[in-house]
Chains A and B, each alone.
Chain A
């Protein structure tokens, strides 16, 4: 199929439709509004639902409803809006419901700004809502991955009966790149015998619920869920390694920060510095093994982030504090330049951690 030029946000929307999603609920917020705009244009033409809810909270609860009925469903927002959705996300997790939540991050906290950021890493990967639960968190670094990982997120969410989040940022959402869209998904959908679709008088009725007042039952639910999370950790880690084979300095970065870092690594290599990149594509499950393996041979790690240093904690946990890890970051909507990352690499090469 021929490549087309699309904005990252549009690629999410078209890929979701091709992945069989016919129900979208959202509320506008920069820099993700193109997702909603695209859905508003396309869904009515293909018999789907586009609904601009009265609030983000309302939208996520509509997602809960459609997911309960066994249909593929999504919502999208940007940081402040995703905070509003957290209660609903916890309920989705507590009811074992698959859904896609897209966060095209902007600077925070509070209303923050509208420029790109990665400062919702904690919220996405550590459980932004209450209770013990996990989200599958995918971090696209190109418009192509906006499309590919949207489709992947629906499949994983269905397979493991849990919500998945696409954690993008304003840059990847707003930029255009050539993209090869996935084919329309027509088969291979996971069966959902648990869905509330009407019994037709032929079976016991299904219940979608997150309320368990008997603690023994609630504990059992939690333990079952974590058995499933263990499988996700075993089977679904995605990571890109770039020039890590002989690397002395290992940069770890995702999304737009990884794109900037690649430029810096190429510049470092041109100066004879052996730098490489580990790019987590799944932020949860985090690619612990790749980091741990790298820790055996590198001098140290540089975490490049558009946050005050959130992923850096997972890097330290993964490499078990065997090598120094330093932060190279910009925040508030600013993006580190390749020169800033290069200078961090040069310092690290000189032993300055």
Chain B
């Protein structure tokens, strides 16, 4: 089922949590709301779920007005960061809860409930834990039970609030791939909130980058990473080198004296988009090698250009070929640069070359 958010605003006292948010989530998509803490992403999710009411704006489910529908009647599955399993109920009873509280007319029979719960526990591969209590499960198991519980009522929409936030790295990675596969099998419209850009880029069909109660960019994971719409998105999704420069039309002249009348601008270059050369080439910057750190499959090189520190990531092969030493003089050439006018956030497509 599709979800539509129209001009939603929400304030908490003087704090603007959401400022005129518009968003469309087509049926069957897995969408990530990505942003730093306090950007309003959880508030937006809770407004979709009906647990929080918006000050202004509308929420539509499948084109129908749902803004004033009570949370219990919205038929959304909600998964909490800290699982929120019913601690005094067994795993089986947790999953069965949504079925047991249905009005008598539509409540499935005891046998049907048993069947449904067992099927769901098999789906999350935890049927052998049916008689345990939540306190006896690991974090990853708890979150999978929470997911089974949310799916038991056959929700039209699945909402996940930082679902993997409380888990350790390895479990988090496994669980998010598992969620992606589960989503591909079930095709239920899902929205999940995260502050982890890697998680959003890996799992989601579309990423909604949020900051200070506003949407900065909506796009596919590849789009938001390789074509960020604003300096914020650039800096939030991965590391970036920032160069203050003067803009000459399409040409950014970084770190050189003089400059045209077009005004101040800032150039953004990802560390892996910088080439290191031993001799000067057209449009290259001179720099001195400060430090070389091999980190896993990459080698991170810190270089100094005038007073600025520049970070470059090389593959191990390239680093071996270059054989960099500390204090060495090298020339940098960016493969891809993006220039945003400063200080106003008006965006300008930058050319290549410095």
A binds B: no
Q: Which residues of A contact B (CB under 8 A)?
A: none
